[in-house]
């Protein structure tokens, strides 16, 4: 049996105009309009498009309640209009705290859930509070989860979502990578290890130069292969995938019966009883390099 789903990811242009309030939100809305041509079941937008590029005096004004709020309202209207689920990522204000929050809106434009970023980038902690939960959400075609940017470096949390049945993990981001190899390799690894679809959305500067925002919106399958990408350009990439498509384990005989697919193999052979070190307080910092060698010009 097939579970066909049409997924759209995006890359938004980041330029001098981005410093003007509302410009990036408008570009995000236009990206949803463009994606709607393919009648997607899910559209994923980049990380904090309401925030990126703004001068500090404007950025400090940001933050809206979740659920609710004017930015969410604009995308909820698009979700209803196009009969699609949408992942947006904006600044959430909860009392005196701000969060970097991914929000899932369903086809009716209703709030389906949120995820607050749990692993903040260096320097982000001075502005944003830490999230602490890893929810998975039921949509009409399957289960969707969300992680944000820096979360890509912590494979434990991707496995937590997979063990809760996530079919697709949306990954809004604004990360930097001087060659593209790091970004690509990490997304591929998370998809392969967990046998899930990963949908990453980003920003792009034009013309593309190494060291700028990578602009590589991608839809990656459980084999770590691109089903669609925006390349290093602004725009939308769309792929139709089968969430029930299984990647066979290469065994034969009884092993094949026990582990018919890579998902049964990778997840079924886990040994959680040996992983206790992952949850102990990290007070010793045994991993730390005593005298790191740093190269500076």
Domain ranges of the chain: 4-245, 247-280
Residue 82 has a pLDDT of 98
Spatial distance between the Cα atoms of 243 and 221, rounded to a whole number of angstroms: 10
pLDDT tens digits, 123-180: 899 999 999 999 999 999 999 999 999 999 999 999 999 999 999 999 999 987 666 7
In contact, 167 and 143? CB cutoff 8 Å = yes
Share the mean pLDDT of the chain: 93
The average pLDDT across 175-192 equals 86
Which of the four pLDDT bands, split at 50, 70 and 90, describes residue 297?
low
Residue 182, pLDDT > 80, answer yes
pLDDT tens-place string over residues 204-222: 988 877 666 667 899 999 9
Question: The tokens of 21 are what?
Answer: 């309030």
Distance from CA of residue 150 to its chain's centroid? 10
Per-residue pLDDT tens digits for 270-296: 999 999 999 988 888 888 898 888 887
- Residue 260 clears pLDDT 80, i.e. is over it: yes
pLDDT at 245: 87
Q: Active-site residues: which are they? A: 47, 117, 149
What is the rounded CA–CA span in Å between residue 4 and residue 39?
Answer: 13
pLDDT at 211: 66
% of the chain beyond a pLDDT of 70: 97
Asked whether the beta carbons of 44 and 11 are under 8 A apart, the reply is no
- Return the pLDDT at 251: 79
| pLDDT of 15 over the 80 cut | yes
**Does the pLDDT at position 54 exceed 80?**
yes
Question: Domain 4-245 falls in which CATH fold?
Answer: Nitrilase/N-carbamoyl-D-aminoacid amidohydrolase (3.60.110)
What is the structure's pLDDT at 51?
95
The dihedral formed by the CA atoms of 22, 51, 20 and 67, expressed in degrees to the nearest 10 = 20
DSSP annotation of 248: B
CA distances from 269 to 12, 41, 64, 157, 259 (A): 40, 33, 43, 18, 9
Residue 279 CB neighbours (<10 A) = 8
The pLDDT score that the predictor gives to residue 39 is: 98
pLDDT (0 to 100) of residue 295: 81
Length, in residues, of the chain: 297
**String of b and e for 12-50 (b: at least 16 CB within 10 Å)?**
bbbeeebeeeebbbebbbebbeebbebebbbbbbbbbbb
**In whole angstroms, what separates CA 259 from the centre of its chain?**
29
Whole-number percent of the chain with pLDDT over 90: 77
3-state secondary structure of 225: coil
In the prediction, which pLDDT does 178 show?
A: 63
- Segment 66-88, tens digit of pLDDT: 999 999 999 999 999 999 999 99
pLDDT of residue 179: 67
- The three-state secondary structure class of 42 is strand
pTM of the model: 0.95
Instruction: Please give the Cα distance from 258 to 6 (Å, whole number).
Output: 31
| Rounded Cα–Cα distance for residues 217 and 8 (Å) | 9
Residues 206/18, Cβ–Cβ less than 8 Å: no
Identify the band that residue 183 occupies on the pLDDT scale cut at 50, 70 and 90.
Answer: confident
Residue 15: left (phi > 0), alpha (psi -120 to 50), or beta?
beta
Mean pLDDT of 232-246: 93
**236 burial level (CB within 10 Å; 0-12, 13-18, 19+):** buried
């Amino acid at each position: 049996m097939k579970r066909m789903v049409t997924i759209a990811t995006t890359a938004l242009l980041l330029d001098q105009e981005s410093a003007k309030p509302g410009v990036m939100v408008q570009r995000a809305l236009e990206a949803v309009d463009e994606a709607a041509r393919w009648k997607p079941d899910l559209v994923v937008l980049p990380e904090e498009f309401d925030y990126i590029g703004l001068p500090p005096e404007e950025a400090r004004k940001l933050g809206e309640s979740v659920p609710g709020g004017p930015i969410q309202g604009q995308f909820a209207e698009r979700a209803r209009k196009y009969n699609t689920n949408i992942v947006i990522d904006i600044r959430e204000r909860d009392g005196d705290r701000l969060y970097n929050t991914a929000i899932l809106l369903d086809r009716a434009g209703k709030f389906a859930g949120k995820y607050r970023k749990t692993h903040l980038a260096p320097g982000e902690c001075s502005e944003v509070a830490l999230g602490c939960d890893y929810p998975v959400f039921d949509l009409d075609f399957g289960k969707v989860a969300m992680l944000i940017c820096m979360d890509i470096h912590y494979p434990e949390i991707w496995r937590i979502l997979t063990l809760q049945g996530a079919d697709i993990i949306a990954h809004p981001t604004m990360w930097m990578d001087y060659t593209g190899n790091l970004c690509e390799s990490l997304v591929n690894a998370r998809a392969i290890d967990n046998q899930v679809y990963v949908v990453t959305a980003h920003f792009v500067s034009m013309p593309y130069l190494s060291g700028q925002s990578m602009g590589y919106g991608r839809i990656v399958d459980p084999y770590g292969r691109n089903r669609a990408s925006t390349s290093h350009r602004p725009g939308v990439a769309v792929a139709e995938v089968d969430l029930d498509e299984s990647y066979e384990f290469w065994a034969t005989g009884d092993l094949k019966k026990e582990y018919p697919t890579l998902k049964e193999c990778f997840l079924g052979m886990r040994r959680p009883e040996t992983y206790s070190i992952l949850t102990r307080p990290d007070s010793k910092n045994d991993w730390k390099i005593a005298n790191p060698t740093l190269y500076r010009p």
